[in-house]
């Protein structure tokens, strides 16, 4: 409890300092971004995509702990108005040490150490908070340039793959492809029934009303938002996956990697090695074999409700095939 209180106090103080210093930091940051983004990109950004509760957070935590990559930390996230400076500050304070953090609260890691991976808030310099689906026309030319330059400046400054996990990008692939045509994508897949079960459990714990969609909303969410809890959640999962499967056709096959949640859990070391090669990371940061996560999907809600989930999935997938 004392540790969490101290962490919260440190975060509060640092956030306030960075907020009020932002106008001054921006003057120097813009010059650095301009200089570094003008160089040829050392790497392309890497986006982790998938549905909510598909295992994306634990994947993000594992990869950022064991691969030599850049990523948004809790510390970087405090400098949301000045992300380039945030990475500079992170390097000085965290010194690229492994975060050794594998806990989260529904994708949130804010209560963990400063070096723990974070989904990031600085995206909302360009994107509208609360809105999800975006295409190539969602940002103007100036916004796209600022977005692109900031990401490439960070990549070129630290000369590492930049691993990004914010699931809102799962329904923004058209926009990302327009800005970063050579970006790489890691799509984590999990059995749809267990994803739906996990979303329902999250909604119950967070007291989200049944007729309100939690987390990422696909483009067609209005069609099923009020359809009842199970139909809503299943449609959310299937619609996001359908959107990804449609949009991935824009991407060169060599830049798109699908992995299964079960493989991540039961063959963790092999999965990390596979992704290391895919994103061209220079090394794995441990000489020891990475232990398996050994997480098993189990039915955790009423059997009747789980059967309803399976039936609804089968019905929707059958109709989609017709």
Burial class (CB in 10 A: 0-12, 13-18, 19+), 119: buried
Q: What is the pTM of this model?
A: 0.94
For residue range 71-93, what is the model confidence (pLDDT) as tens digits? 999 999 999 899 999 999 999 88
pLDDT values of the chain reduced to their tens digit, one per residue, 322 residues: 455 666 667 777 788 888 888 999 999 999 999 999 999 999 999 999 999 999 999 999 999 999 999 999 999 999 989 999 999 999 988 877 889 988 887 777 777 788 999 999 899 999 988 889 999 999 999 999 999 999 999 999 999 999 999 999 999 999 999 999 999 999 999 999 999 999 999 999 999 999 999 999 999 999 999 999 999 999 999 999 999 999 999 999 999 999 999 999 999 999 999 999 999 999 898 888 999 998 889 999 999 999 999 999 999 987 777 6
Could you give the number of structural domains in the chain? 1
Beta strand 70-71 with 184-189 is unpaired
pLDDT the model gives residue 257 = 98
Q: Coil, helix or strand for 297? A: coil
161-209 pLDDT, tens digit per residue, is 999 999 999 999 999 999 999 999 999 999 999 999 999 999 999 999 9
Domain of residue 175 covers: 2-321
- CATH code, domain with 222: 3.40.50
Q: Cite the DSSP H helix spans in 53-132.
A: 56-66, 74-78, 83-94
For residue 48, the model assigns a pLDDT of: 98
| Cα 33 off chain centre by | 23
């Amino acid at each position: 409890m004392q540790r969490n209180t101290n962490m919260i106090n440190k975060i509060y103080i640092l956030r306030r300092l960075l907020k009020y210093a932002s106008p001054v930091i921006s003057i120097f940051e813009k010059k650095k971004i301009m200089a570094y983004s003008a160089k040829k990109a050392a790497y392309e950004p890497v986006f982790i995509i998938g549905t909510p509760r598909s295992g994306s957070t634990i994947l993000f935590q594992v990869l950022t702990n064991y691969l030599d990559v850049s990523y948004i930390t809790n510390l970087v996230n405090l400098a949301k108005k000045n992300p380039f400076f945030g990475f500079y500050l992170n390097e000085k304070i965290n010194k690229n040490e492994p975060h050794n953090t594998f806990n989260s609260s529904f994708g949130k890691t804010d209560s963990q150490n400063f070096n723990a991976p974070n989904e990031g808030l600085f995206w909302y310099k360009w994107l509208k908070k609360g809105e999800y689906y975006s295409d190539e026309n969602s940002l103007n030319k100036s916004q796209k340039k600022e977005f692109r330059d900031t990401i490439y400046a960070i990549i070129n400054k630290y000369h590492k793959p930049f691993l990004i996990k914010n699931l809102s990008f799962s329904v923004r692939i058209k926009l990302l492809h327009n800005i970063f045509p050579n970006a790489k994508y890691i799509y984590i897949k999990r059995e749809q029934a267990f994803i739906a079960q996990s979303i329902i459990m999250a909604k119950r714990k967070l007291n989200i009303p049944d007729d309100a969609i939690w987390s990422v909303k696909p483009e067609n969410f209005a069609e099923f938002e009020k359809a009842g809890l199970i139909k809503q959640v299943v449609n959310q999962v299937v619609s996001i996956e359908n959107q990804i499967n449609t949009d991935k056709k824009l991407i060169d096959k060599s830049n798109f990697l699908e992995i299964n949640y079960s493989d991540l859990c039961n063959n963790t070391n092999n999965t990390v090695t596979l992704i290391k090669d895919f994103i061209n990371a220079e090394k794995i940061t441990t000489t020891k074999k990475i232990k398996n996560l050994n997480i098993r999907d189990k039915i955790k809600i009423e059997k009747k409700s789980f059967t309803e989930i399976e039936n609804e999935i089968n019905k929707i997938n059958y109709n989609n095939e017709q």
